[in-house]
């Protein structure tokens, strides 16, 4: 299955849903946080600016009124009392400056003019220098010159701790966005994992139906679907079993009639065809039942004795089946399913090669390998996987002697999956085929002297 490539401009866009939702949520929260902080900052700036200028106007008006009413000799002693952080008073004409003012200086000049009133004209100038400096020149009612020396300050300096608060808030947004995405996407991950491992025939845990309403509803629907699939599979087996039972009776009658009938030209062919039909019906039902191989309980068996018993059964009937290497030990498995798998593999080797050899070994990770080897013609490499599917047979085997039903390997493959084993086919060096059954997940290797 091919997937549509994303546009070239979206290469930096995350591929997973979790990452995309995380980026969207984090970006949205961050932008909203920055906008909120900007609005609050501007509102505080405007309020502080209004309060500062109103306070400047009132303080200057009060100070000028005091100095104007004091006798000239006493004014100098009051100057230090009337000085503030950003402005002070000087008795005298002050320093000549530049009458051109910037917008901020013009606003300060308008506040000073309003503070002095129309009776005391004011001239505000910018004094050159490294520091921003304004001087307002006016004349008191007795003709004495007075200079207001203004050093404007910033309206609202930022606190030293404010950047740390902003960083802490962004970290909190990051954690909240990550937690929210984890809570939102985790049910989807669990649902995908459950769908990927869906097997109604295995006793796997059901999907948890707890959590938010939507998640619980999806989990309930998934579990109900799983139950329906299991019911459909069970009904399939029952239908095939019923068909097999109903077909075997007329097939048996037809075989008896053909055998008891007088000799005719096609008698043997008819009996052989009926036998193949009967075999096909039985194998079809066996394939359907193999999907329910896990109904058998797992038991502890001795692997060497199990394989030797199987080999002896074949040898008693004159079949060329041998066991060259068998490691000792005990395993826990479903013996009937394992016997059916090995029987199908051995029968397949006998059918196409005339003999079969069994090898059993263990790997370091306790995986048990059971190999059925033969020296037949083998299988083309491009058909090794295909022959494990139902009703698939090689072209040169479609004859009445060796053709079979095409279900033996498919049954072995399905039973292997039911016990968590893996069945693979390989061609041998020098000719022949190797059918390898690898057990590990479902079968625990035990010491032979264990209880």
> pLDDT digits over 405-450, tens only?
667 788 888 888 777 788 999 998 888 899 999 886 444 444 444 4
pLDDT of amino acid 131: 74
CA distances from 70 to 56, 61, 75, 78, 143 (A): 21, 15, 6, 9, 13
Using CA atoms, how far apart are residues 308 and 314, in angstroms rounded to an integer?
10
The pLDDT value recorded for residue 295 is 60
List C-alpha distances in Å: 356 to 323, 352, 380, 431, 433.
Answer: 9, 10, 19, 13, 10
Which residue stretches of the chain have pLDDT < 50? 1-5, 9-10, 293, 397-400, 441-451
Q: Give yes or no for a contact between 122 and 136, defined as CB atoms under 8 angstroms apart.
A: yes
Residue 383 near residue 406, CB atoms below 8 Å: no
Q: What is the largest CA-CA distance in the chain?
A: 157
Secondary structure (3-state) at 161: coil
What's the pLDDT score for residue 357? Answer: 92
pLDDT the model gives residue 199: 67
Return d(Cα 208, Cα 216) in angstroms, integer: 8
Residue 284: its pLDDT value, please? Answer: 65
pLDDT tens, residue by residue, 42-67: 887 787 777 777 787 888 888 888 88
Q: Nearest CA to 411 among 291, 297, 314, 294?
A: 291
User: What is the pLDDT, as a whole number, of residue 444?
Assistant: 44
Residue 164 CA from chain centroid, whole number: 34
């Amino acid at each position: 299955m091919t997937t549509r490539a994303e546009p070239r401009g979206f290469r930096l866009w995350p591929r997973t849903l979790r990452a995309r939702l995380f980026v969207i949520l984090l970006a949205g929260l961050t932008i909203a946080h920055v906008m909120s902080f900007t609005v609050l900052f501007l509102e505080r700036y405007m309020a502080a600016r209004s309060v500062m200028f109103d306070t400047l106007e009132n303080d200057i008006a009060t100070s000028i009124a005091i100095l104007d009413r004091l006798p000239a000799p006493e004014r100098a002693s009051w100057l230090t009392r009337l000085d503030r952080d950003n402005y002070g008073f000087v008795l005298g004409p002050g320093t000549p400056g530049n009458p051109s003012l910037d917008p901020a200086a013009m606003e300060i000049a308008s506040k000073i003019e309003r503070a002095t009133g129309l009776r005391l004209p004011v001239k505000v100038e910018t004094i050159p220098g490294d520091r921003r400096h304004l001087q307002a020149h006016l004349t008191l009612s007795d003709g004495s010159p007075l200079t207001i020396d203004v050093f404007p300050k910033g309206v609202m300096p930022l606190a030293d701790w404010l950047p740390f608060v902003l960083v802490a808030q962004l970290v909190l947004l990051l954690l909240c966005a990550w937690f929210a995405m984890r809570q939102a996407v985790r049910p989807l991950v669990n649902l995908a994992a459950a769908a990927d491992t869906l097997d109604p025939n295995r006793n796997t845990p059901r999907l948890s139906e707890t959590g938010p309403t939507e998640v619980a509803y999806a989990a309930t629907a998934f579990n109900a679907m799983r139950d329906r699939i299991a019911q459909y599979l069970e009904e399939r087996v029952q239908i095939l079993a019923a068909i097999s039972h109903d077909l075997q009776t007329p097939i048996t009658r037809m075989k008896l009639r053909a055998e008891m009938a007088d000799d005719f030209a096609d008698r043997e062919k008819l009996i052989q065809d009926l036998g193949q039909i009967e075999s096909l019906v039985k194998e079809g039902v066996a394939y359907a039942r193999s999907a329910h191989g896990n109904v058998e309980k797992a038991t502890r068996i001795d692997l060497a004795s199990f394989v030797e018993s199987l080999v002896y059964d074949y040898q008693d009937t004159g079949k060329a089946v041998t066991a060259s290497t068998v490691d000792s030990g005990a395993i826990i498995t479903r013996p009937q399913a394992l016997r059916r798998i090995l029987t199908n593999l051995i029968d397949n080797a006998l059918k196409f090669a005339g003999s079969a050899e069994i090898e059993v070994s263990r790997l370091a990770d306790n995986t048990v390998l059971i190999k059925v080897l033969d020296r037949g013609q083998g299988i083309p490499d491009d058909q090794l996987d295909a022959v494990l599917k139902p009703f698939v047979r090689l072209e040169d085997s479609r004859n009445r002697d060796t053709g079979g039903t095409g279900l033996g390997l498919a049954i072995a493959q399905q039973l292997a999956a039911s016990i968590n084993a893996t069945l693979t086919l390989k061609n041998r060096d020098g000719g022949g085929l190797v059918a390898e059954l690898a057990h590990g997940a479902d079968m625990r290797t035990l010491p032979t002297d264990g209880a």
